[in-house]
Amino acid sequence: MTKGAQLYEGKAKKVFETDDPELLIVSYKDDATAFNGLKKGTIRGKGVINNKMSNALMRYLEKKGVPTHYVEELNDRDTVVKRVSIVPLEVIIRNIAAGSFSKHYGVEEGRVLKIPTIEFSYKNDDLGDPLINAYHAMALELATEEEIDTIKKYAFKVDEELKKFWESCGVTLVDFKLEFGRLSDGTIVLADEISPDTCRLWDSKTGEKLDKDRFRRDMGGVEDAYQEIMKRLEEHI
Ligand code: TMP
């Protein structure tokens, strides 16, 4: 499988065409941004880690019954995925209060939520990815009711499976963001990535942050945290 024309360059990945119209190649960069691109930097080795981690977790989730866009890892940074049209919603699941949830609702970071929560953001950089509810999403024709039901079902299944998996690695899955896409026949599949860029992962014993919050919050030790979380994954997957 060879890379064709570049279709798109995002903040953390590039996307290329292939000779098969149903397949694309995603290429992971070391670039990191936060706060809608206001903060920019590089996390050395991040692209390799995010590529390998996302692929390993998607293969794991496929086995547990969650369909994904994953096809084949080509090398350290490049992966073949199914071409999808992305549903323009960021789907966020939370098990523990942190980040914007703590800020919006005045809840201390680290409070275990009585039940996992789901929220949607409208994927639109110009608007700063505002929170949106399911009715808004349907009214704006971002997704149908049936698609939203499917997305919710898969998102909670991902939470259930990944919570268990990370627990076996001594890591607490605090929250994460997913994106879904439609295949050419309309089937909804999990797309984008699952990585320390898109999840909050805390060491279960010490509470140490092993994710992108170290970059967002200028905590230092960013590269080491990415290496450490990858090591834990490789030891247990
Ligand atoms: P938040 O608390 O800032 O809303 O973030 C919730 C989760 O979503 C957290 O695991 C980080 C992830 N996330 C992204 O993947 N992309 C984003 O643009 C933002 C804001 C959060």
Cα–Cα distance, 195 to 5 (Å, whole number): 26
Cα–Cα distance, 19 to 224 (Å, whole number): 38
Q: How far is the CA of 4 from the centre of ligand 1 (A)?
A: 31
Cα–Cα distance, 52 to 78 (Å, whole number): 9
Judgement on whether residues 104 and 204 belong to the same structural domain of the protein:
yes
Q: Say if 1 falls within a structural domain.
A: no
pLDDT at 1: 86
Q: Give the residue whose CA is nearest to atom 11 of ligand 1.
A: 198
Q: How far is the CA of 75 from the centre of ligand 1 (A)?
A: 27
What is the pTM assigned to this prediction? Answer: 0.98
3 state DSSP class of 49: helix
Q: How far is the CA of 93 from the centre of ligand 1 (A)?
A: 10
Q: Cα 27 vs. chain centroid, distance in angstroms? A: 15
CB-based burial of residue 35 (10 Å sphere; 0-12 exposed, 13-18 middle, 19+ buried)? exposed
Three-point CA angle 181, 174, 66, nearest 5°: 35
Residues framing ligand 1 (Cβ under 6 A) = 92, 98-101, 175-177, 198-200
The parent domain of residue 41 ranges over: 6-82
Q: Say if 63 falls within a structural domain.
A: yes
Structural domain count of the chain: 2
CA-wise closest residue to 51 among 22, 84, 29, 24: 29
Q: List average pLDDT for each run of 10 residues in the chain, which is 237 residues long.
A: 95 98 98 97 98 98 98 98 98 99 98 98 97 98 98 99 98 99 98 98 98 98 98 97
Q: Give the residue whose CA is nearest to atom 8 of ligand 1.
A: 177
pLDDT at 17: 98
Of 57, 82, 107, which residue sits at a domain end? 82
pLDDT at 82: 98
